[in-house]
A and B are shown apart, each in its own frame.
Chain A
Amino acid sequence: AQSVTQLDSHVSVSEGTPVLLRCNYSSSYSPSLFWYVQHPNKGLQLLLKYTSAATLVKGINGFEAEFKKSETSFHLTKPSAHMSDAAEYFCVVSDRWPGGGADGLTFGKGTHLIIQP
């Protein structure tokens, strides 16, 4: 069985400061891990993905995440927050087929990122 825990339901940072959104996972197999972002009243957009290649993954809009197997973590970071980053962020795991072929994707509960001006 697979599961995802997003450690913070809300994160508030000032514009221009670093962003850290924390995610821990549990997986019986070698997992594929994703971060998705959801802006208000919009669908989900893929930020980045890890599929057993490089452990440091770079995504869109300046975000990156590091896969740490020993810590079962996949934290999302960005050096400098922008107002447009305000959204809901979901950490996602799939350990059956890459991309969730058998069980779909297992989503974390989400982290609401607030950007203070």
Chain B
Amino acid sequence: EAGVTQSPTHLIKTRGQQATLRCSPISGHTSVYWYQQALGLGLQFLLWYDEGEERNRGNFPPRFSGRQFPNYSSELNVNALELEDSALYLCASRQLAGGRNEQFFGPGTRLTVL
């Protein structure tokens, strides 16, 4: 069974630009979660998508947005990049049905804002 995949592995942008990060969940998983792991701030919940809709978001400004496609893959967009957006962005997927409630994480995209 293939795990959660994320692309790109690394992304370098400058302040003010936009970044797009991609995530493919495990086959059969309909929920995708995004987390930000910034130095000194730990892991923070960003967004949750399920069945193509945004179900919940963490305490982040609106310039963090995303979407989920019909094949359940997901995209995270960060507009008007700021230096403090530099972080490892982790995607996780979960299968809501069937009683297995843990999230499975991808390897992450390391975003560097210069």
Interface residues of A (CB under 8 A from B): 32, 34, 36, 41-46, 49, 51, 90, 94, 97-110
B42 touches A110 (CB 8 A): yes
Check: B1 CB closer than 8 A to any chain A CB: no
The 9 closest A-B pairs by CB, nearest first: A99-B101, A104-B45, A98-B101, A107-B43, A44-B105, A43-B105, A43-B107, A109-B42, A46-B102
Interface centre among A32, A51, A99 (most CB of B within 10 A): A99
Q: A90-B43, A104-B33, A109-B42 are in contact. Are A42 and B107 (CB under 8 A)?
A: yes
User: Is the Cβ of A46 less than 8 Å from the Cβ of B45?
Assistant: no
User: Which residues of B25-51 have CB atoms within 8 Å of chain A's CB atoms?
Assistant: 31, 33, 35, 42-46, 48
| Cβ distance A50 to chain B, nearest Cβ, rounded Å | 11
Which residues 69-114 of B sit at the A interface, judged by CB distance below 8 A? 90, 92, 94, 96, 100-108
CB distance from B74 to the nearest CB of A (A): 14
B4 at the interface (CB under 8 A from A): yes
Cα A45 to Cα B3 with chains together (Å)? 11
Nearest opposing residue in chain B for A4, CB measure: B42
In the complex the two chains form, what is the Cα distance from A103 to B56 in whole Å?
Answer: 7
Are B48 and A32 in contact, CB atoms less than 8 angstroms apart? Answer: no
Known pairs A32-B101, A43-B106; A104 contacts B42 (CB<8 A): no
Besides A43-B105, A43-B108, A46-B102, 6 new A-B residue pairs in contact (Cβ under 8 A), listed by A number = A36-B105, A49-B101, A99-B94, A104-B56, A107-B35, A107-B44
| Contact present for A46 and B104 (CB under 8 Å) | yes
Report Cα–Cα, A100/B94, bound state, in Å.
10
Q: Which residue of B lies closest to A107 (CB)?
A: B43
In the complex, what residues of A have CB within 8 A of residue B90's CB? 43-44
